[in-house]
Amino acid sequence: MRISAGVCSDVGAHRAVNQDAAFSTPFAAAVADGVGGGPSGDLAAAAIIHRLITMRGALPSAENLLERLRAANWDIGAHVRRDAALAGMASTLTGVWLTVSGSLVLAHTGDSRAYLLRDGEFTRQTRDDSYVQALVDRGLVRPEDAWTHPRRNIITASFGGNDDDTIRAETRDVLAGDRWLLCSDGVSDYVPEEAIGAILGGMSDPAAAAHATVDLALTAGSRDNVTTVVCDVVDGMPDVDAVPVIAGAAALRWTEVIEAGLATA
C-alpha cells in the first residue's frame, strides 16, 4: 500500500507569518503548527518537518518513529541553545506513517488533529492536548461548546526541545480505501466536523479535498494559519525515491537544505 496525498497551507488573512508546516510522501504525512504567541513558531514547525521528511520507505516500527521524533525535538532544543532569544519556541505535530508490517502509526502531540474516513464513517482519531479538552474531560465544558471557548488555543503538550516533552506514537490497523485528514487548529477551530466530513466524503481527489477544506476555513473567518493534508491509502508499490511534498513554513524556511539533502541521499 501507499499514500496518495494532497497538501494545502495558507497563511490566512490575519497573520503575517505562516507558522504551520506540512509534508507528504508515499509512506507518510504530517502537520506541525508553531505554538501561537511564542518566538519563531515557524522555525519549530519547519525543523520538525525537515527531520521527518528524511525518512525513506515504510516505517520499521513505532519505536523507530519515536526515536526520530525525539531527534526532531532535540533539534528544537539545539536552536534554543544556540540562540537564547528563541527560548519558548515550540510546535504541535500530528502525522501518519505506513509500516513494513502493513499497519499504520499515528503520532500526535498538541491540538492539531487527525480524522479518518473509512467505509463512509468519519471519526476523529486524536485527543487535543489542551486546556479546554481537560475541562471537557472533567465535565466542566460541554463538547459542543469547546470549539468556541475563549481559551481553546491554550495547549498542554508540544515539542519544545525539552526532555520531558510528551511524544506519542500509536499503531493502528490500515485498509486500502482509508482516507485520513490531518489539519492545524486553523481548520478545526472554525469548521464543524460534519462539514469536514462532507468534503472528504464528497470529493475523490485528495488535493482538491485539501484545498476545499482550507478554502472553507478561510471563508469561515479563520484568524489563524490554515493547513490540511488529505491522505488516501491506496493499493500499489510506493516510490521510495519520490520527492516529498512540503508546504507552509517547511517550504519557506528549508527549501535549500531540503534540496541539498535530497541530492545527496
> Whole-angstrom Cα distance, residue 156 to residue 166?
9
If one compares 124 and 241, the residue with the highest pLDDT of the two is 124
The answer to whether 212 touches 226, Cβ cutoff 8 Å, is: no
Q: Rounded distance, CA 163 to CA 249, Å?
A: 24
Is pLDDT at 262 greater than 60 in this prediction?
no
Q: Which residue has the higher pLDDT, 87 or 99?
A: 99
**Is residue 265 over pLDDT 70?**
no
DSSP assignment string, 64-124: HHHHHHHHHHHHHHHHHHH-GGGTT--B-EEEEEEBTTS-EEEEEESS-EEEEEETTEEEE
Which amino acid, 254?
A: W
Which among 17, 31, 5 is positioned nearest to 227, based on CA atoms?
Answer: 31
Model confidence, pTM = 0.90
**pLDDT, greater one: 87 or 52:** 52
Locate cell 486553523: which residue?
186
Confidence of residue 156 (pLDDT cuts 50, 70, 90): confident
Q: Which domains does the chain have, with CATH numbers?
A: 2-264 (3.60.40.10)
